[in-house]
């Protein structure tokens, strides 16, 4: 299935393809503050509909994950990184997807704080 998503102001818009069967709630210092519920997909399944220049990037710690956000409205719709085997991944904030009722999805709790 293809889902559409965006930041609040629409300056960042994207499509992502896959089966949304669960979400991840990470308790690391940034995810907890953002309140993001994440869906991890191969980076190839994410297609930006707006220019990449519309996104800003924030990294911290070991800078393995690029936390991408809209500089206009401040919303963090996605992140980008790589699995230990080098596979490029995208972390989609499902709260930024259109017409998705994620309240019934299983939530996997990830202890990112301990990394």
CATH number, residue 28: 2.170.150.70
Query: Is residue 115 assigned to a domain?
Result: no
pLDDT at 62: 77
Domain span at residue 65 reads: 2-104
Which residue in 89, 98, 81, 88 sits closest to 13, CA to CA?
98
Q: Give the chain's domain count.
A: 1
Residue 84: pLDDT band by 50, 70, 90 thresholds?
confident
Query: Is residue 112 assigned to a domain?
Result: no
Q: Which residues contact 76 (CB under 8 A, 6 or more apart)?
A: 34, 36, 67, 68, 69, 93
Which tens digits make up the pLDDT trace of 4-22? 999 999 999 999 999 999 9
User: Considering the entire predicted model, what is its pTM?
Assistant: 0.92
pLDDT at 15: 98
Q: Are 77 and 92 in contact (CB under 8 A)?
A: yes
pLDDT at 115 over 80: no
Instruction: State whether the Cα torsion 60-98-47-38 is positive or negative.
Output: positive
pLDDT at 33: 92
């Amino acid at each position: 299935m293809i889902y559409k998503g965006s930041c609040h102001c629409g300056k960042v818009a994207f499509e992502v393809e896959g089966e949304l069967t669960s979400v991840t709630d990470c308790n690391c210092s940034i995810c907890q503050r953002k309140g993001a519920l994440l869906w991890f997909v191969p980076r190839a399944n994410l297609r930006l509909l707006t220019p990449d220049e519309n996104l800003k990037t924030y990294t911290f710690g070991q800078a393995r994950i690029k936390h991408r956000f809209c500089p206009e409205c401040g919303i963090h719709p996605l992140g980008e990184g790589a699995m230990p085997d080098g596979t490029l991944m995208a972390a989609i904030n499902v709260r930024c997807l259109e017409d998705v009722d994620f309240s019934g999805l299983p939530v996997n709790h990830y202890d990112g704080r301990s990394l």
